[in-house]
Amino acid sequence: GRGDAERAFLPRGLAARGFVRTFILAEGMEVTAATLEHGLLPIDLARPEPERLVKRIPIRSAG
């Protein structure tokens, strides 16, 4: 009947169940904040400066 049609549009318990959404961030991006407000999830992203890695490699002379 008509109740079935309404349930098709508003599934019972939809808001009560948790949901998972996965995001793939670009390399080096960091999430600095994520707060669920009024059904929206604003996410603050930061792209920190890449660390300048200095690696010292000892060079041995052969002979």
**What is the residue-level pLDDT of the chain in tens, covering all 63 positions?**
555 555 455 555 556 566 677 878 888 888 888 888 888 888 898 888 777 788 888 899 987
The Cα–Cα gap between 41 and 33 comes to 10
Tell me whether residue 25 is in a domain.
Answer: yes
Tell me whether residue 32 is in a domain.
Answer: yes
pTM over 0.85: no
Q: What was the pLDDT predicted at 24?
A: 84
Tell me whether residue 35 is in a domain.
Answer: yes
Identify any residues that bridge with 43 across adjacent strands, giving them in sequence order. Answer: 34
Q: What was the pLDDT predicted at 35?
A: 86
Tell me whether residue 9 is in a domain.
Answer: no
**CB-side neighbour CA atoms (13 Å) of 19:** 8
Tell me whether residue 55 is in a domain.
Answer: no
Domain with 44, as residue range(s), is: 21-50
Element (H, E) at 5: helix 2-9
What's the domain count of the chain? Answer: 1
